[in-house]
Amino acid sequence: MPFLRRSYGSAAEQVRYIAAMPSTPRLELAHITKRYPAVVANDDVSLTVQPGEIHAVLGENGAGKSTLMKIIFGSVKPDAGEVRWNGEIVAIANPHAARKLGISMVFQHFSLFETLTVEENIALGLSPAEVKAFGGKLGESIAQTGEKYGLPLEAQRPVHTLSVGERQRVEIVRALLTHPKLLILDEPTSVLTPQAVQKLFLTLRQLASEGCSILYISHKLDEIRALCHTATVMRGGKVTGVCDPREETAQSLSRMMIGAAPHLPARALVTLGEVRLAVSNLSLKKTHPFGTDLHAISLEVRGGEVVGIAGVSGNGQQELIAALSGETTLAEAHGLQIESVAAGRLDARARRSLGLAFVPEERLGRGAVPVMPLSDNTLLSHQVAPQVIKGMIQKQSARELAATVIARFGVKAGGPQAAAKSLSGGNLQKFIVGRELMREPRVMLIAQPTWGVDVGAAAQIHTEILALKARGCAILIVSEELDELFALCDRLHVMAKGELSPTVAIENATVEQIGLWMSGMWPDGPASRAVATSDAGVGE
Amino acid sequence: METLAPLIATAINASAPILLAALGLLVNERAGVLNLGAEGMMLIAAVAGFAVGIETGSVTAAMLAGALAGMAAAALFAFFTLVLVTNQVATGLALSILGGGLSAFIGQSYAGKSVVTSKWVLPGLSEIPFFGEAVFRQHVVVYLSFALAAFVAWFLFRTRAGLTLRAIGESPESAHELGYPVRWIRFAAVLFGGACCGVAGAYLSVIYTPLWVEGMVAGRGWIALALTTFATWRPGRVVLGALIFGTITIIGFHLQSVGVEVPSQFLAMLPYLATVIVLVLISRNPDWIRLNMPASLGKAFRPG
Amino acid sequence: MIHLQPRAESSRLWMFASPLLALFLTILFGAILFGSLGKDPLKALSVFLLDPLANMRGISEVLLKSIPLILCGVGLAICYRANVWNIGAEGQLILGAICAGATVLAFDTPAKPLSGAVVIPLACLAGIVGGMFWAGITAWLRARFNANEILVSLMLTYVAGLLLIYVCTGPLRDPDGYNFPQSKVFSKEFQLAYILEKTRLHWGFLAALIAAGVGTLFVSRAFIGYKLQVGGLAARAARYAGFSSTKAIWMAMLICGGLAGFAGALEVMGPIGQLIPSVSPGYGFAAIIVAWIGRLHPVGVVLGALIMSVFYIGGEYAQSRIGLPSSITGIFQGALLFFLLACDTLIDYRVRWK
């Protein structure tokens, strides 16, 4: 039997695994290395998955998890190392080859086709022979498989009409129809409510009990401890440990994942100032067919206060944030007040001059122009003297401003002349946050402050947000990361189906309650009303 | 009545090349590739078809030459946009400019010559009163282009290959992740577009006009491009649109022949103005376009 | 197979080296083309590329032809920076020519109510307004109805061409012109003054250079130009910053239309001296290549226009001196653009063979 030499984890652990598992591992990766021009994504990575095992690959953003999965799935070729499948060396040339072996993958950003139906999407994920095997009854098989694993789907619905959770179901059913021997899930819970996560776990446990191996990629410690039999922890492209997560604490896993746990300053109590941002009864029709209507949204943020909006993405957060930032203008001037000025009809520039600053969720292409140098990118939000005088750009001032941001916020960049696209996600986010902070805003909107940002940068951004709060700014944060919201905010709202829940003080909020609200189940919320008007249960 | 039948016949005849080109471009665009070089491909094919027609006297050979010339031009476009990942809009414009120059250069020695062709009268059907004259006395290419519309519709919406093609136009990234050879399929679609534009171009110079004149495609390539938008990328609506354009094209001539006093230039403007109006009408509703347009249309894709 | 490896940052070196390499490849391609046509490649190339620059007359003709190319090229460069795909500069130029021509003809009566010093600026203004009007149609349909500006501007170019034929055969036709489709030749005082003795180079060349200078300021220093470019490079970033996309479309189209219309006015009052159906041998289309090869920068546009202009004059020489059709110019133009597109790949990618 091919045996892997492992230099990590305790010897006792290894012995226990090998003794407990049946003879041939389903998948073995040995000394996999993959280099990109700027970075070594995988550096001598080894990993073993047994049949029926739920195996976590744990690591923060940029640890190399996704690259490793792409290698297993055949969409990226390793520079060195070998892959064994049921004990035999294989070269997985492309995803087709991977699927032939029995490897299926559920992507983090779904590989679905919006305008096609569920059935068409699933057919595209199967080989022609597999489709033929269903003999024109693919739709029925989708329903059957869905029923068996608790993943109900309507085969003829176009995907763009589905919720994010339903889309994930499509991906999972598609994977299951190929009867995989190894199922790879890449950050599968980032789009789910806590309750939906529990349902997913049931499905996965059922699958594993039937002998299917599962590779579960995540950075969420609690989930891995609840679900997985084994965890391979990665950091900076290397394996930093192999363990049984059920026997670890969140702290010990975190140490393996991050090195040293960053600490977050405690939320200081700041005396609340007057209302700086007020939204009253804001309703907005969606601007494109895949969007969400906003219904009668009201909220207030006072100076020195951080208010969070939780929710599964695609429930109107993007529309709301665009309506607040001025990217979308409102018909009604009084629907939005910034510093007590009716600002509904003002565009983004005019709102900025009232003291608003905004950090959007997409950094490249929205928060920054990818090919422009950082100095030019400061002009997106610094449109007045000293950067712009009498309609003329003052290049020197712009450069100085960029240099200041780089220095003050520790942005790793080639200088003010570096193109925005040459920065890593975390550094670009630091630059954009820094650029907005330099304006000393009175109202700050931040969407997904730490999405795809490494832990060090995330901690720094969190610290800056709390410092800004202490200076009396009114801050509104939209995030999908509950941990982050609980750490930063004084109050929370939840968005579901284009509506905003009542507010709840952070001291009184629980993950369970927020999770229910994410499905729209707050008193008189969209889901609660649906229950009241018909006896039908609530999906998801 | 007796003037109406030939009128319909000429309208159908005028719509055929636009239909053919638009169908090719539709498949092209369904795969997510916007080839603005249609006019250039048609011009190159028109002169190639004409030259072969003159040299061989065979219409079949001329059409074949047109198809091959169109495919060669399309292959150039495909190499640039798919392998070198150049901007599709710029590359298409370049192809139109090159096609204009190349065809003018090659065509110089063929100016003023003519090819003799025949129509393909459907036995039996052509004898039907009115319809026979109006519909069934066309060149075989005309029938083929209408048949092609049915074929394209069947291919796109009833076959797995068509589904794959549409999926690639929707999201090449997803298709690539699922393991489809995105670039090869796009390459095939671009070649198909080139072949269709090629036959359309050769039809214009060899059968429709039948003369070689510099720039003789006269914007039909661009109109065909507009037609795919008008048809929201559906073959059936392309047929409808092509017939409308064919009718508008000949209505000018007809008005003159019955003695309506309008300067001929204004009548000649009609197809172009109609194109603009049609674009405005169809584009007014962005949702409608967004739901129907291949989502990756015009965007470069480079497998990671 | 060719494998492209993305660069972390765009290469500034290749940004400028690419047009030169493309030009070199085009000349190489030209040599092969001439050779395959049975001409001595070196001799043909020297006729095509060097003869136009061999004497003052040739140079002045090159400069003369560069005027409309510079004007349209600067306008298109601004459009393309704003991601407004105006390809109808040709039509805008024609409209400018019609309006300027009509203005001149209106005052070019035996009575001569106004002097050339008044009529010429007036006609230039008419040309600019005409070009802006024509471009404005496209801008309006794009901004208001979301109609594709590529197709609309091109369709309007065909319409403009037909309109020009109409005015030359109808309302503005020379009554003593034996029914030729052309207007009467403008009186000397309504034609542009020459800046060089014994050449046809008129002061419009200086105007074109000024336009390029102002254009440079616009794209590199003016905040309004910055707004346009952000809209072109990243539409969502423009919305984030609060720059109106509608205004950007209007502004880019009107600037280009005005410059192209001005070019049309200069053509009819300059070298042509009357309205004829062939006012432009495709300047508006050649200017697309000019804008591109000039890196969408007005200074580059001037250089690109000179190259393109040499191609035009070279084509005429090729016809008269070595018996090749002048349409060979079109092949050179197309080839140059293709080579340029290929070479531009090097700006953002490293090429690897594997």
- Highest mean pLDDT of the ranges A134-138, B134-138, C70-74: C70-74
pLDDT in tens, A388-431: 999 999 999 999 999 999 999 989 888 999 999 888 888 899 99
Q: Judge whether residue B9 has pLDDT over 60.
A: yes
**Does A174 lie at the interface with B, CB-CB under 8 angstroms?**
no
The pLDDT assigned to B153 comes to: 97
Q: Judge whether residue C102 has pLDDT over 90.
A: yes
* Least CB–CB distance from C155: residue in B85, B94, B222: B222
**Does C345 lie at the interface with A, CB-CB under 8 angstroms?**
no
pLDDT in tens, A149-194: 888 889 999 998 887 778 888 988 988 888 899 999 988 887 778 8
* Least CB–CB distance from A388: residue in C9, C223, C230: C223
Residues B160, A123: C-beta atoms closer than 8 Å: yes
- Chain C residue whose CA is closest to A414: C9
Q: Judge whether residue A226 has pLDDT over 80.
A: yes
Mutate to test the interface with B, among C83, C159, C308, C343 (most CBs of B within 10 A): C159
CA-to-CA dists, residue C129 to C85, C92, C95, C215, angstroms: 21, 10, 9, 19
Residues B179, A124: C-beta atoms closer than 8 Å: no
Sorting pLDDT into bands at 50, 70 and 90, what band is C304? very high
β strands within A59-212, DSSP E: 80-85, 88-90, 103-106, 182-186
Helix (H) or strand (E) holding A276: strand A275-284
**Does A285 lie at the interface with B, CB-CB under 8 angstroms?**
no
Q: SS3 for A275?
A: strand
Of the two residues A484 and C254, the one the predictor is more confident about is C254
- Count of CB pairs separated by less than 8 Å, A with C: 75
User: For residue B282, what are its two tokens?
Assistant: 């169809």
Q: Judge whether residue A1 has pLDDT over 50.
A: no
Of the two residues A9 and B174, the one the predictor is more confident about is B174
**Does C352 lie at the interface with A, CB-CB under 8 angstroms?**
no
The pLDDT assigned to A220 comes to: 82
- A partners (3+ CB pairs within 8 A) are B, C
Q: Judge whether residue C8 has pLDDT over 90.
A: no
pLDDT in tens, B43-93: 999 999 999 998 888 889 999 999 999 999 999 999 999 999 999 999 999
- Chain A residue whose CA is closest to B296: A113
**Does B171 lie at the interface with A, CB-CB under 8 angstroms?**
yes
**Which residues from chain C sit within 8 angstroms of residue A391, using beta carbons?**
222-224
Burial letters B60-83, b for 16+ CB under 10 A, else e: ebbbbbbbbbbbbbbebbbbbbbb
Q: Judge whether residue A260 has pLDDT over 70.
A: no
Q: How far is C11 from chain A (nearest CA, A)?
A: 11
Residue C352 and residue C19 in contact, taking contact as beta carbons nearer than 8 Å: no
Question: Cβ of A351: how many Cβ atoms within 10 Å?
Answer: 25
- Percent of chain A past pLDDT 90, that is, above it, reads 52
**What is the 3-state composition of chain C as percent helix, strand, coil, each rounded to the nearest 5?**
75, 5, 25
Sorting pLDDT into bands at 50, 70 and 90, what band is A13? very low
pLDDT in tens, A497-519: 899 999 999 999 988 889 889 88
Residues B290, A288: C-beta atoms closer than 8 Å: yes
pLDDT in tens, B210-230: 888 888 999 999 999 999 999
Which residues, in sequence order, are CB contacts of B74 under 8 Å at separation 6+?
A: B35, B37, B41, B190, B191, B193, B194, B195, B197
Q: Judge whether residue C253 has pLDDT over 80.
A: yes
Q: Judge whether residue B183 has pLDDT over 50.
A: yes
How far apart CA A450 and CA A480 sit, in angstroms, is 10
**Does C233 lie at the interface with A, CB-CB under 8 angstroms?**
yes
The pLDDT assigned to A6 comes to: 37
Residues B302, C87: C-beta atoms closer than 8 Å: no
Q: Judge whether residue C5 has pLDDT over 60.
A: yes
**Does C209 lie at the interface with B, CB-CB under 8 angstroms?**
no
Q: ipTM score of the complex? A: 0.92
Question: Which of B304, B59, B95, B70 shows the shortest CA–CA distance to B190?
Answer: B70
Residue B186 and residue B31 in contact, taking contact as beta carbons nearer than 8 Å: yes
How far apart CA B101 and CA C326 sit, in angstroms, is 10
Q: Judge whether residue B287 has pLDDT over 90.
A: no
How far apart CA B182 and CA B175 sit, in angstroms, is 7
- Chain C residue whose CA is closest to B287: C146
Q: Judge whether residue A15 has pLDDT over 80.
A: no
**Which residues from chain B sit within 8 angstroms of residue C325, using beta carbons?**
104-105, 108
Residue A329 and residue C246 in contact, taking contact as beta carbons nearer than 8 Å: no
pLDDT in tens, C178-234: 888 999 999 999 999 898 888 899 999 999 999 999 999 999 999 999 999 999 999
Residues A111, B170: C-beta atoms closer than 8 Å: no
Identify whether C171 is preceded by a cis peptide bond (ω within 30 of 0). Answer: no
